[in-house]
Amino acid sequence: MAVLRKGCIMGDFIKLFGKLLKKLLCYSDFYISRWLRSFTEFPTKQVKMLKPNSFDEAIFVLEEIAEKEAELRIILNQQDNSRDFATVLHHGFGQTIRNEWKLWVGHSKLYQDMYLSFGLFHADDMSSVILQTFWQRFHGYPETPNIFSMAYLWYWQGMKKTGEWDGQANGGPVNLEMIPSVRAGIKMEKLKLEVWAEKGNKLEATK
């Protein structure tokens, strides 16, 4: 009888422990997700402190931030591809990049570099190409900013043909004929991807 009673008490204890453990795991998931969400919504001061003047400098600045910010490293590792990474950070962190690095201003040095290098003129496109390329560098993939840029340029070409966009940005006309330099960059990037794959490396996952 005593053994049976002890067994019942032990069973009740195990059930109670199981319930407590389940609640603990739920709370930990909640706070971890809340912690990561706070990073995407309320970015770090380092973005405001460090002002890159070129695309290469922008990637370097993000590398510096990732070394100090565990939240950013976690998000980098959570996303399977560069597009998802840029999408997750588009609001909050991405918005701060656009505002603090003056990607909305046509005369900023970073804006001019992105425009002359890739033909980009919209701040959303610029921040996405920066974030996508940064994800590739962090994970050791071949970097393909020209391929990313061409996708956005094709989008604006389509908008112009349908009349949904008048070809103006930042108070002046946009010259989409700068694309040949981007196409040359794409050829080099595709070659890098072929060499990368030939060595047995996996290409970036796409959806």
pLDDT for residue 40 is more than 80:
no
| Per-residue model confidence as pLDDT tens digits over 137-176 | 999 999 999 999 998 888 888 887 787 777 777 656 676 6
Regarding pTM above 0.85, the answer is no
| Per-residue model confidence as pLDDT tens digits over 82-92 | 999 999 999 88
DSSP for residue 171: T
* Cβ-proximal residues to 91 (8 Å cutoff; 6+ apart), any chain: 40, 41
Phi, psi of 172 (to 5 degrees): -145, 170
Q: What is the mean pLDDT of residues 23-51?
A: 56
| Per-residue model confidence as pLDDT tens digits over 97-146 | 999 999 988 889 999 999 889 989 899 999 999 999 999 999 999 999 99
Alpha-carbon gap, residue 104 to 125, rounded angstroms: 11
DSSP for residue 73: H
